[in-house]
């Protein structure tokens, strides 16, 4: 079972559709999330949001992710979710040029999340902010538009992607398949 934390993205139904191809899921608004929601789930996906980390108070969202530092649940953050994960672990956000199109992503580190993808692949972007690489994370992939396109924790199954795999066709589907395999192969928290 995958738990989707919905941050208010119009793309969340596409995440649900992708995950539904591989396993069961449940979706809850992130601000309704309680740590007890983690029982009997194998992994968590944090959606994008129509919010800007540099202009709005995101502390209510960050408060809902404190568990990331103590509960080693496989987690994938998408766009705003990626940024929340980074900030939770000490990254800082900044404005960048708007990117609302296909972007060529170049992977230069091996990652289970990108298994079966070519070294360069296209994904749909929809953001105007970026984050630095937080401590204990490694940078996995970049694009000409954004340095931190894919990051992963050095020792924990925590991943972030700045782009939107849920609306990026077959390559996006591969990312969801890879993440779900990672999640299903981890011991479940009861």
* Residues 71-116 pLDDT 10s: 889 999 999 999 999 999 999 987 767 766 788 999 999 999 999 9
Q: Note whether residue 137 is domain-resident.
A: yes
How far is it, in rounded angstroms, from Cα 54 to Cα 141? 23
Q: Is residue 69 part of a domain?
A: yes
- The answer to whether position 189 is within a domain reads no
Is residue 55 one of the residues assigned to a domain? Answer: yes
Give the pLDDT score at 190. 47
DSSP for 9-63, written as a single string: -TTHHHHHHHHHTTS-EEEEEGGG--GGGGTT-SEEEE---S--TTTS--HHHHH
pLDDT at res. 60? 95
So which residues are the catalytic ones?
Answer: 79, 164, 166
pTM, 2 dp: 0.94
Query: Which pLDDT score, from 0 to 100, does residue 188 have?
Result: 59
Expressed as residue numbers, the domain containing 146 is 2-184
CA atoms of 68 and 61, how far apart (whole Å): 12
| CA 138 – CA 37 distance, rounded (Å) | 28
CATH number of domain containing 16: 3.40.50.880
Give me the number of domains the chain comprises.
Answer: 1
Q: Is residue 190 part of a domain?
A: no
In tens digits, the chain (190 residues) has pLDDT values of: 999 999 999 999 999 999 999 999 999 999 999 988 888 899 999 999 988 888 889 999 999 999 999 988 999 999 999 999 999 999 998 776 776 678 899 999 999 999 999 999 999 887 678 899 999 999 999 998 888 999 999 999 999 999 999 988 899 999 999 999 999 987 655 4
Q: Is residue 168 part of a domain?
A: yes
Residue 170 gets which letter from DSSP? Answer: H
């Amino acid at each position: 079972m995958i738990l989707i934390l919905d941050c208010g993205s119009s793309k969340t139904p596409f995440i649900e559709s992708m995950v539904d191809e591989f396993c069961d899921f449940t979706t809850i608004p992130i601000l309704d999330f309680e740590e007890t929601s983690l029982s009997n789930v194998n992994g968590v996906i944090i959606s994008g949001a129509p919010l800007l980390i540099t202009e709005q108070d995101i502390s209510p969202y960050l408060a809902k992710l404190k568990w990331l530092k103590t509960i080693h649940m496989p987690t994938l953050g998408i766009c705003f979710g990626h940024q929340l994960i980074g900030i939770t672990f000490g990254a800082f956000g900044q404005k960048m040029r708007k990117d609302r199109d296909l972007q060529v992503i170049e992977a230069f580190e091996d990652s289970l999340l990108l298994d079966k993808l070519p070294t360069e692949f296209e994904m749909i972007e929809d953001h105007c902010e970026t984050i630095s690489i937080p401590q204990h994370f490694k940078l996995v992939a970049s694009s000409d538009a954004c340095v931190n396109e894919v990051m992963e924790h050095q020792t924990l199954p925590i991943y972030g992607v700045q782009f939107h795999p849920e609306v990026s066709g077959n390559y996006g589907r591969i990312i969801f398949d890879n993440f779900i395999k990672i999640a299903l192969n981890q011991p479940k928290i009861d």
